[in-house]
Amino acid sequence: MGIVRLNHAVLYVRDARRQARFYEEVLGFETIIADPEGHVAFMRTPDSDNDHDIGFMSVGTSAALSAAGRTSVGLYHLAWEVPTLRDLATYRERLLAADAFVGESDHGATKALYAFDPDEIEFELMWLVPPELYDPVTDPVGTRPLNLTREIERFGSDTRSSRNPLPVQDR
């Protein structure tokens, strides 16, 4: 008996259609199931073998923003792994263009971007340094400013995280 990975997340949102549009246009997700009334949308990434990676359930436009992390417990963020630093750089530009970008961090073993979706639910896009290239002495776990250009020069734009065996596809 053992858990292999997180298969999907389902979030309550104000408007499932709006969320789906954002995830399609900015992150490249595909809608798998959506009801005609716009109450539910289930999506997956193009390279996923899950039946869906994320689901959205509408609760109405008058719903309050989540107070998680400020005045209540709850979800901090979801983290989506990208195969290469080139992907991370591309997503950075998309997030900036969508006015969704919040920040970026170098956590040593991971290089991360942070953003908010339309309901201000935070998510992370991250690249995992391949274990054979990771040196905990020069890149200790922590939180430092990310210099994405320097990391691309250091690791290469197309170096794949060894945890993600799928081939890079033209996006």
* CATH, range 76-164: 3.10.180
Class assignment of domain 1-60? Answer: alpha beta
Summarize pLDDT for 115-149 with one digit per residue, the tens. 999 999 999 999 999 999 999 898 899 999 999 99
Q: What is the DSSP pairing of strand 122-128 with strand 78-81? A: parallel
Domains 1-60 and 76-164 share a fold: yes
Domain parsing of the chain, residue ranges: 1-60, 76-164
CA distance to 3, 8, 11, 66, 156, per residue, from 120 (Å): 29, 19, 12, 8, 32
Report the pLDDT value the prediction gives residue 2, as an integer from 0 to 100: 82
Concatenating the DSSP letter of every residue in 112-142 gives: EEEEE-TT--EEEEEEEPPGGG--TTTS-SS
